[in-house]
Structure 1
């Protein structure tokens, strides 16, 4: 089994896309993350859904989870609104990690190793200069467990 057998079409966002639109895309399609592309349409980064949450959740709640409990329910339900007007570029880490990209000939083990090494729930599959789509963690696990 190769990446070409597991790849699916996958939505992309640009660096200047609005974070709330990216979050809506994640939710509407039940995606683990998104492929962020540069102006040329080439993968620039992977934006896991958890990274969107990291930007939205107040830092004090991340540093001390007990503080999240003291925020009243009305305010706790609206924390994503803090992302209004922010861009995907702002969600990306300051020090980018290895970009999880592979070619269509990558094996299941190569894809798994890349996901594990980069802490990414998806891997972009490039065929030369063309983005073919992505292999998701779910598709990879389904395949591995079926063997």
Structure 2
């Protein structure tokens, strides 16, 4: 099996994409992350969903999760509100510089090895210099386990 056989279409985002839009896309596509592209459409990085959460969750709650209990449920349910006005660029300092990108002809073992090395649950797939989709950890495992 090749990367092209297990890829899914993924909406690319840019550094200027609103963080709230990134959260919506993560939810809508049930994606573990999103592909950040430059102005030429070339992958710049993978934005894991947890990095979007880092923008929304108060720092004191990240440092000590037990402090999240002091926030009542009605307010806690709106923890994504701080994403308003933020951009994907605000999360990019956390994005790995080791780009998880493969050619469409890469084997599933090559994809898995790249995921394991980079810790990314998402690998961008290129064909002839163009982004054609991505392979997620879940899709990769689903296809390989089913054999």
Q: After TM superposition, is the score higher than 0.5?
A: yes
Which residue number corresponds to residue 73 of structure 2? 73
Distance 2:84 2:75 in 1: 15
Measure the CA separation in 2 of the matches of 1:80 and 1:108. 35
Q: How many pairs align?
A: 147
Match in the other structure for 1:116 = 116
CA contact (8 A) 1:97 1:118 kept: no
Residue 83, structure 1, aligned to residue 83, structure 2: yes
> Could you say if the C-alpha distance between residues 140 and 95 of structure 1 is closer, same or farther in structure 2, counting changes exceeding 3 Å?
closer
Deviation at 1:136, TM superposition (A): 1.0
- 1:92 and 1:84 map into 2 onto residues whose CA distance is 17
Matches within 5 A, 1:1-147: 1-94=1-94, 96-147=96-147
**d(CA) in 1 for partners of 2:95, 2:10:** 25
Determine if contact 1:3/1:107 at 8 Å carries over to the other structure.
Answer: yes
Preserved contact between residue 36 and residue 46 of structure 1 (Cα < 8 Å):
yes
Consecutive unaligned residues in structure 1, runs of 5 or more: none
Q: Aligned partners of 1:8, 1:28: CA distance in 2, in Å? A: 14
Question: Structure 1 length as normaliser, TM-score?
Answer: 0.94
TM-score by length of 2: 0.94
Output the CA distance in 1 between the equivalents of 2:101 and 2:53: 23
The Cα of 1:72 is off from its aligned counterpart by: 1.3
3-state SS of paired residue (1:123):
strand
- TM-aligned CA distance change 1:54 to 1:94, over 3 Å: closer
What is the DSSP-based 3-state SS (H/G/I as helix, E as strand, rest coil) of the residue aligned with 1:120? coil
Which runs of 5 or more structure 2 residues have no equivalent in the other structure? none
